[in-house]
């Protein structure tokens, strides 16, 4: 590959000037000198140091942004329930949030997979984050115009926004996992850990907001709206920081090192689009891991948050402490789940917790179906028209929260292990393996969000759809 070809590749991919990188010396398109081979080996074997773990932290922040839209919307349950009163969706909007977000995410992730080109990575990431920022701004403004919409129209407006969020997350997720799979596996773990951290941080903010609300059934609507406005402004700021951090990332030596390695590996490839043959070959090599990550998140979304947010404290109303009231009990449940998920995603950063045995991971993922009957035997609120069909066997808030925590840890731990393992399978295209795993992860989420409707029906012997 000639110097001019190298320059054109980097310029198209990242919009950078030629002097911003060190050209890889070559002696011809079809033949390379022994000196060039030696330099290639040096590039691939001796990556620059990640000083102060800046690259690790930036990838962690990218992970935060990937699920920021999802976490922000599902955690703002008190505000949305109040806003949707009178629409017929106040009791089941979480199911719709899940299915719309995950369906949109799955569709656009599949589209991104089929149309992926390596030179478009930076454009897609910056476009996705910019669009996410725009949606957060619109939702923040809308908190003061709910009467203008009315509860039903506002529900459809929010759901449409969630669908767009799913699309932006798909673009970012596809490109970030394709990019980070070129790096050491610890950086994939960083992205996964960032996803868990996002939920934890947002859950904490929700609890702090809830603590400012008096323990009364008559919640101040204006206070809720002011709290929601600040909440969405914070999400906007986090998104802006994420965008800025990406621009910093693409100028760091470690990033440029791995981009050069990828360029060398693809030097003989004229077309960077993944063809069907390569897709099939790569999928066959990682199919067990692909099933595993999909099944892990299928189980999770079937139960969380649609079923878990319906579980109430077992303490009688007159004896409930502040933290057992619904306005704090549900945000506390989100915090416990997200801390457990974050811990699970972080465990693979310790070598003693790492396994790449695909069969073992698959069996562990299947074993998680035990959580279906366990959560149904908790104190699930069946609503005014439902009938409890499962016995109340988990008659303790402590046992429920412990179960929820184990559920979350297993989700984060197995999700991270499988995402880290796939690009390390011998002979696979690392970027494509990361993209396929990302697609299967979202496929599991989408199927799980659909399955949450029959799970709700099973829990209450009622119509889970609501009044449309």
CATH of the domain at 320: 1.20.1250.20
Looking at the fold, whether 23 and 168 belong to one and the same domain comes out as no
Domain for residue 44, yes or no? no
pTM here?
A: 0.73
**Pair of tokens at residue 238:** 């986090």
Query: Sign (positive/negative) of CA torsion 196, 198, 199, 204?
Result: positive
Sequence-distant (≥ 6) Cβ neighbours of residue 265 within 8 angstroms:
none
Q: Please report, in tens digits, the pLDDT of each residue of the chain (468 residues total).
A: 554 554 554 444 444 443 443 444 444 444 444 444 444 454 456 788 898 999 999 999 999 999 899 988 988 877 898 899 888 887 788 889 988 998 999 898 888 777 766 667 888 899 999 999 999 999 999 998 998 889 999 999 999 999 999 999 988 988 898 888 889 889 988 998 898 888 888 888 777 766 765 555 455 677 778 878 888 998 899 999 999 999 999 999 999 988 877 665 555 444 455 567 888 899 999 999 999 999 999 999 999 988 998 899 999 877 777 778 777 888 899 999 999 999 998 899 888 999 989 999 999 999 999 999 999 999 998 866 678 889 999 999 999 999 999 999 999 999 999 999 998 898 888 888 888 898 899 899 989 989 998 998 898 887 677 654
How far, in Å, CA of 222 to CA of 394, rounded?
37
Domain for residue 43, yes or no? no
Question: Residue 140 carries which DSSP code?
Answer: H
How far, in Å, CA of 92 to CA of 8, rounded?
52
Q: What confidence score (pLDDT) does residue 265 get?
A: 59
**Pair of tokens at residue 361:** 């991971």
Domain for residue 246, yes or no? yes
Domain for residue 45, yes or no? no
Domain for residue 38, yes or no? no
Looking at the fold, whether 120 and 76 belong to one and the same domain comes out as yes
Q: What confidence score (pLDDT) does residue 288 get?
A: 96
DSSP string for residues in 111-174: HHHHT--GGGHHHHHHHHHHHHHHHHHHHHHHTT-HHHH-HHHHHHHHHHHHHHHHHHHHHHHH
Domain for residue 37, yes or no? no
Q: What confidence score (pLDDT) does residue 411 get?
A: 96
**Pair of tokens at residue 438:** 């990302």
Exposed/middle/buried for residue 385 (C-beta within 10 Å: 0-12, 13-18, 19+): exposed
Looking at the fold, whether 212 and 281 belong to one and the same domain comes out as yes
Looking at the fold, whether 162 and 242 belong to one and the same domain comes out as yes
Q: What confidence score (pLDDT) does residue 340 get?
A: 95
Q: What confidence score (pLDDT) does residue 385 get?
A: 65
Looking at the fold, whether 14 and 55 belong to one and the same domain comes out as no
Cβ contact 416:422 at 8 Å: no
Looking at the fold, whether 56 and 19 belong to one and the same domain comes out as no
Domain for residue 39, yes or no? no
Cβ contact 371:404 at 8 Å: no
Q: At what angle do helices 397-421 and 326-346 cross, to 10 degrees?
A: 30
Residue 56 domain boundaries: 50-460
**Pair of tokens at residue 35:** 């000196």
Sequence-distant (≥ 6) Cβ neighbours of residue 332 within 8 angstroms:
207, 323, 401
DSSP string for residues in 298-362: HHHHHHTTTTGGGB--SS-GGG--GGGSHHHHHHHHHHHHHHHHHHHHHGGGSGGG----HHHHH
Looking at the fold, whether 86 and 7 belong to one and the same domain comes out as no
Domain for residue 369, yes or no? yes
**Mapping DSSP to helix (H, G, I), strand (E, B) and coil, where does residue 380 land?**
strand
Q: What confidence score (pLDDT) does residue 117 get?
A: 63
Calculate the alpha carbon distances from 416 to 250, 362, 438 in Å: 24, 13, 11
Looking at the fold, whether 19 and 92 belong to one and the same domain comes out as no
Looking at the fold, whether 11 and 121 belong to one and the same domain comes out as no
How far, in Å, CA of 61 to CA of 41, rounded?
31
Looking at the fold, whether 365 and 268 belong to one and the same domain comes out as yes
Looking at the fold, whether 11 and 79 belong to one and the same domain comes out as no
CA dihedral defined by 339, 345, 347, 353, rounded to 10 degrees? 140
Looking at the fold, whether 22 and 162 belong to one and the same domain comes out as no
User: How many domains are there within the chain?
Assistant: 2
How far, in Å, CA of 380 to CA of 218, rounded?
23
């Amino acid at each position: 590959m000639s110097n001019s070809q190298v320059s054109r590749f980097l310029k198209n991919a990242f919009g950078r000037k030629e002097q911003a990188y060190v050209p890889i010396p070559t002696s011809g398109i079809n033949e390379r000198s022994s000196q060039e081979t030696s330099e290639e080996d040096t590039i691939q074997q001796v990556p620059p140091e990640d000083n102060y773990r800046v690259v690790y932290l930036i990838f962690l922040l990218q992970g935060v942004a990937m699920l920021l839209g999802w976490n922000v919307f599902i955690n703002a349950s008190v505000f949305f329930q109040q806003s949707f009163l009178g629409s017929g969706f106040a009791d089941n909007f979480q199911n719709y949030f899940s299915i719309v977000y995950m369906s949109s995410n799955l569709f656009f992730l599949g589209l991104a997979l089929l149309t992926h080109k390596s030179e478009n990575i930076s454009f897609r990431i910056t476009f996705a984050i910019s669009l996410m920022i725009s949606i957060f701004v619109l939702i923040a403004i809308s908190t003061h115009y709910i009467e203008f919409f009315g509860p039903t129209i506002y529900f459809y407006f929010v759901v449409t926004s969630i669908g767009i969020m799913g699309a932006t997350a798909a673009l970012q997720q596809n490109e970030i996992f394709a990019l980070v799979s070129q790096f050491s596996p610890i950086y994939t773990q960083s992205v996964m850990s960032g996803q868990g951290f996002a939920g934890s941080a947002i859950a904490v903010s929700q609890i702090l907001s809830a603590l400012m609300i008096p323990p009364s059934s008559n919640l101040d609507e204006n206070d809720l709206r002011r709290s929601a406005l600040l909440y969405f402004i914070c999400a906007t700021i986090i998104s802006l920081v994420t965008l800025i951090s990406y621009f910093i990332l693409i100028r760091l030596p470690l990033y440029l090192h791995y981009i050069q390695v990828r360029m060398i590996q693809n030097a003989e490839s004229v077309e960077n689009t993944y063809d069907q043959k390569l897709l099939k070959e790569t999928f066959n090599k990682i199919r067990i891991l692909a099933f595993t990550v999909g099944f892990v998140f299928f189980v999770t979304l079937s139960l969380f948050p649609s079923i878990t947010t319906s579980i109430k404290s077992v303490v009688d109303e007159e004896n409930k402490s502040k933290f057992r009231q619904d306005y704090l009990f549900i945000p506390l449940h989100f915090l416990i789940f997200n801390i457990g998920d974050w811990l699970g995603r972080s465990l693979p950063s310790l070598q003693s917790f790492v396994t790449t045995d695909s069969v073992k991971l698959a069996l562990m993922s299947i074993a998680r179906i035990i959580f279906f009957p366990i959560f149904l035997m908790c104190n699930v609120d069946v609503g005014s028209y439902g009938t409890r069909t499962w016995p109340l066997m988990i008659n303790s808030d402590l046992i429920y929260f412990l179960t929820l925590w184990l559920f979350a840890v297993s989700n984060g731990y197995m999700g991270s292990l499988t995402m880290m393992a796939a690009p390390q399978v011998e002979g696979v295209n690392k970027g494509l393996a990361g993209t396929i795993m990302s697609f299967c992860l979202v496929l599991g989420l989408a199927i799980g969000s659909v399955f949450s409707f029959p799970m709700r029906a099973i829990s209450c012997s009622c119509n889970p759809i609501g009044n449309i």
